[in-house]
Amino acid sequence: MIKSIDVAKAAVKLALSTREEEEKLVRDYKKAGILSTGVDVGGNLIQSIPKIIERALVASKRTGIIQNVHIHEGAIIGAAREAINQVSEKATGFSVGGKIGIARCDEHISICLFMSIGVLHLDDMVIGLAHRSIPLLENEKVYFKSE
């Protein structure tokens, strides 16, 4: 049975992956019953917050991780905001570039935000991870194997 920690680990691995690695991870996770995706993000952190949340939401819907219902959308938005809050202390005011990893199995959904922070010619790294529980809708019970 896949647990919330497994879903969180999947989100972290996706956020740390290259585009090529991501494609393989998404395929492997799908075989295991975890829906997942990755999204590149970047720019000034404060100015990019709405775009980061929007990209997480759009990618989650586009890949079938969530459905177009407010409970699912709220979980993605809340988890994305929490991950942003975790990285904001180090990254506020700086240019950042990185990736969002999103993973879901059954009622567990995790979002990981991994970013490189540009500071002169030196880079710093920061990571944020958030988990939410969302209801498994009737039409989703067919897909998830661990039910």
pLDDT band at 143 (very low <50, low <70, confident <90, very high): low
Give the amino acid at 137.
L
Q: Burial of 73 by CB count in 10 Å (0-12 exposed, 13-18 middle, 19+ buried)?
A: middle
pLDDT band at 136 (very low <50, low <70, confident <90, very high): confident
- State the first-to-last Cα distance of the chain, in angstroms, to the nearest integer: 9
- Percent of the chain at pLDDT exceeding 90: 84
Q: What's the confidence (pLDDT) of residue 139?
A: 80
Query: What is the pTM for the complete model shown?
Result: 0.93
Q: How many CB atoms lie within 10 A of CB 54?
A: 13
At 111, is the secondary structure helix, strand, or coil? strand
pLDDT of 145 higher than 60: no
pLDDT band at 141 (very low <50, low <70, confident <90, very high): low
Give the tens place of pLDDT for each residue, 21-72: 999 999 999 999 999 999 999 999 999 999 999 999 999 999 999 999 999 9
Q: Which domains does the chain have, with CATH numbers?
A: 4-140 (3.40.1510.10)
Q: How many CB atoms lie within 10 A of CB 3?
A: 12
Among residues 103, 100, 96, 59, the alpha carbon closest in space to that of 80 is found at 100
User: What is d(CA 3, CA 33) in angstroms, rounded to the nearest whole number?
Assistant: 11
